[in-house]
A and B are shown apart, each in its own frame.
Chain A
Amino acid sequence: MTEKNSLILVGISHHRTPIDIRERLFISESSLLESLKKLNTFNSLEECLILSTCNRVEVYASTQNYEKCVSAIHDFFVEVQNIDPGVLKKHLYVLRGEQVIEHLYKVSGSLDSMVIGEPQILGQVRNSFRIASENQFIGKNLLSLFSSAFRVAKKIRELTKIGTEPVSVSSVALDLAKKIFRTFEDKTVLFVGSGEMAESAMQTIISQKPQKILIANRTYAHAQALASKYSGWAVDFENLEDEINEADIILTSTSFSGFIIDSSMVTLALEIRKDRPMLFLDVSVPRNIDPLVNEIENIFLFDVDDLQKIASDNMKGREEESLEANSIVNREVQSFLNSKIVENSSDIFIEIRRLAEEFRSEEVKRTLSSFPELDERVIDGIDMMTRAIIKKILHNPSVAIKEILEEGADGESIHLVRRLFGLEDTSSKKPFLSSEEESESIS
């Protein structure tokens, strides 16, 4: 990597761009390769990657020419994605150097997502990286950046509880069901009604492939339609009392005013089921299940308020965990920058030897000019002797520097070594930066 190489990120995200703009800039996975090729027709970027999700469209690049690169990405958005430059100007952001590293770590670790801790983003980043990498758009700068981002994301998942607890009503319902039954392959679920609230929870539960799906609706034809859609069985709404004993999980969502399932029905069902536990999820308002049902042993009832409260508590928990995750990101950014400084310092020996050789040859030349009568043999002898002295003097420091580097030197020690030998101090310069490192909007 040369010193002039700079990491650049140009993009838009959910933080300041509404969905109508985001969807216009969105690039589907199947079009990513084509878009990468088009992007390169604007200006040949040394390395580039496009990350496109429903929350963000970002171009990561490593280039020697910052201005041209930013302008190429801007033009790409305007022309290929067909968006007005005036509109784009309001939303587009540009990050450079260290900020790109920090941003990517946060994105991969799901700290920058709309729902903090959501698990999909890491897969999306990996996918974008795979497509760019397979098609030679990734060089050593983006390779080391993204490899470290995947490692940091893993670390965040391992060291914090950021993605462990669900934050949507349907995923909370599924989570609770899994804490009662663990798996669903031998379980029967009964859906009563098909209110709007139930739709997402229904699909989440069905995605777990329960053994049997029963659907009850006040309109039998509607139940039949849903049953055929989800490969289930329609049951008679009027005879719900006879059906609930078969179900392990019951989700109710009707507009019926009053309780359609009460304690006596559940007690009877439990007797028939020989006390096998049942989970009731009542997502209807007004409620469809008598709250007293929860008093019965081996029966678990959650209404929509319970589910929403758990979801919001979990969200607060994720926000608290994100503080710890952010400090991991900060530490990892510093560690990444340090590793780059050390990497750049691998040629420190060559510099020291070159400097020593410069001094030696100068001094030998000056000394010999005072003794023009010396013959070739003596001159060669002096030359050899001075080389040997230099070699011996530099031997111990060279071994020590090698050891320091191998032990994992930080920027401080590299800086100190350079100072000791009077070398030009490039270690104080942050890698991936060519000049100023402020984020800016396109102007």
Chain B
Amino acid sequence: MLALVIFLYLVSSIGHLYVMLTGKRRLFSFVLVCLISGFIIHGILLTSVLSLFETKEIGFWFSGVSWVILLFYLLLYAKYKEIAFGSFAVPVAFIIEGYASTFPGLLGGGSSEIEGYLLKGHAYLAVLGMAAFFLLLFTSVMYIIQSSQLKSRRPGAWLHRLPALNVLDDLGHKILYFGFTFLTFSLLLGSMWARSKHGTFWSLDPLSLIRTWPLVLTWLAYGLLLVCRITRSWKGMWSAIFSMFCFVCVIFSLLSHF
């Protein structure tokens, strides 16, 4: 049940960030259904622990904080229909609930079952993120070729085979959003798993370091690209070139698993 709650909060977090960043509310009703379902199941879990047992572990209290945050958000949403608060509240509630699940206790946290789900979630999201970065690489390469053709003032046959520059730029931007979001949540789930398995968010053994740091570097590189695109309005060529450098981190992340 706890794994289901975490999964529903994960979907809701990604959904809220998507709506917040793109302004498209098309899928929001589905996201809201996920969130409310998770919230109800979460509430039942907490109530059952609260009514049945006298002593409560630390995990219970963390879980309670997560539930209360969502309660406030849902009340605010019911009154104002504002999503902005949720785009902060829901991911934070997800992180706290995920952290709570790493403590062994009556909620079912710290069990090998939960660890299995966290690790799977980490891997699946990392795969989605990596796939998105591959797609971003393709759009960047196409952008550079198309832009060079136009710059040369004598475009060749590729001019008509490749999409327009603004289409490629826009596509790259959307892929970057998704890739970065997936990678972020993958890292969060990974660190939750590490906390549950090893009792610490960062394992210091050499193998874990080799595998983790390229992923963190990838996250930092694409995060920097995203920030630059949003705040410094990196458009077109610069963004395409920088995303190719970022992809070097992806290659290292993949190689580190061999």
Contacts and interface: CB of A to CB of B under 8 A. Distances in A.
Interface of A: 164-165, 176, 178-182, 274-277, 294, 297-298, 300-302, 306, 309-310, 313
Given A180-B164, A182-B167, A277 B236 contact: yes
A182 B164 contact: yes
Interface string B157-198: 001100111110000000000000000000000000000000
Contacts of A277: 165-166, 235-236
B153 A180 contact: no
Nearest to A317: B157
A72 to B, nearest CB: 47
Interface of B: 146, 150-151, 153-155, 159-160, 163-167, 233-238
Nearest to A297: B237
Given A180-B164, A277-B166, A302 B153 contact: yes
B235 A274 contact: yes
Which of A179, A309, A310 is most buried by chain B, counting CB atoms within 10 A of its CB?
A: A179
A99 B32 CA distance: 69
A18 B160 CA distance: 36
Contacts of A274: 233, 235
A176 B154 contact: no
Nearest to B233: A274
Given A300-B151, A302-B153, A182 B166 contact: yes
B164 A301 contact: no
A179 B159 CA distance: 7
Contacts of A297: 236-238
B150 A298 contact: no
23 contacts: A164-B160, A176-B155, A178-B164, A179-B150, A179-B159, A179-B160, A179-B165, A180-B164, A180-B165, A181-B164, A181-B166, A182-B166, A182-B167, A274-B233, A275-B233, A275-B234, A276-B235, A277-B166, A277-B235, A297-B237, A301-B153, A306-B153, A310-B155
Given A300-B151, A309-B154, A165 B234 contact: no
A306 B151 CA distance: 11
B153 A294 contact: yes
A306 B146 contact: no
B191 to A, nearest CB: 35
Given A181-B166, A276-B233, 17 more contacts: A164-B160, A176-B155, A178-B164, A179-B150, A179-B164, A179-B165, A181-B164, A181-B165, A274-B233, A275-B233, A275-B238, A276-B235, A277-B235, A298-B235, A306-B153, A306-B154, A310-B155
Nearest to B149: A179
A383 B21 CA distance: 93
Which of A182, A301, A309 is most buried by chain B, counting CB atoms within 10 A of its CB?
A: A182
Contacts of A276: 233, 235
B17 to A, nearest CB: 23
Contacts of B154: 306, 309-310, 313
Nearest to B234: A275
Which of B153, B154, B235, B238 is most buried by chain A, counting CB atoms within 10 A of its CB?
A: B153
Contacts of B233: 274-276
A298 B164 contact: no
Which of A164, A298, A302 is most buried by chain B, counting CB atoms within 10 A of its CB?
A: A298
A310 B156 CA distance: 9
A275 B153 CA distance: 20
